[in-house]
Amino acid sequence: QVQLVESGGGLVQAGGSLRLSCAASGNIFSINAMGWYRQAPGKRRELVASIGRSGTTNYADSVKGRFTISRDNAKNTVYLQMNSLKPEDTAVYYCTVDIMQRNYWGRGTQVTVSS
């Protein structure tokens, strides 16, 4: 079993910053890609950012230049630094990890950006 625990969500004003963290624990041999998705009310879940084991990153166009994904392989943790937040960033943010080509998901953390 693999458990993912997200933290760092909350309420912030537009233009503010938040840092999300997601720690993986349990039966972990080696984590490949790690990433963050988000789902706003009435919308489909979408990729926000991903990072490979070697550090290669990928971002949704809507967050490029504002969000930064990073990881600490020793701690099995992935981070999402979110700056210049906008009301349209409001969503539940989920972390995901790829272990042995199987995806595991966290329960999500709410991010709310007020205008």
Over residues 7-25, the pLDDT tens digits come to 999 999 999 999 999 999 9
> Please, how many CA atoms are within 13 Å of residue 65, restricted to the half-sphere of its CB?
3
CA dist 14 → 31, 95, 115 (Å): 34, 23, 5
Structure tokens that stand for 64 in this block: 């490029």
pLDDT mean over 78-94 = 98
Which CA distances in Å does 50 have to 11, 36, 94? 23, 6, 12
pLDDT tens-place string over residues 46-72:
999 999 999 999 999 999 999 999 999
* Per-chain mean pLDDT for the chain: 96
Q: What is the mean pLDDT of residues 26-34?
A: 89
Looking at residue 15, its pLDDT comes to: 98
The pLDDT of residue 16 = 98
Average pLDDT over residues 31-58: 96
Cα dist. 21→28, 44, 57 in Å?
18, 22, 16
What percent of the chain shows pLDDT beyond 70?
Answer: 100
Instruction: Residue 19: count other Cβ atoms within 10 Å of its Cβ.
Output: 14
More confident residue, 29 or 10: 10
98: its two tokens: 């790829």
Query: Cα separation of 40 and 3, whole Å?
Result: 23
Q: Is the pLDDT of residue 28 over 90?
A: no
Residue 72 CB contacts under 8 Å (≥ 6 apart), including other chains: 79
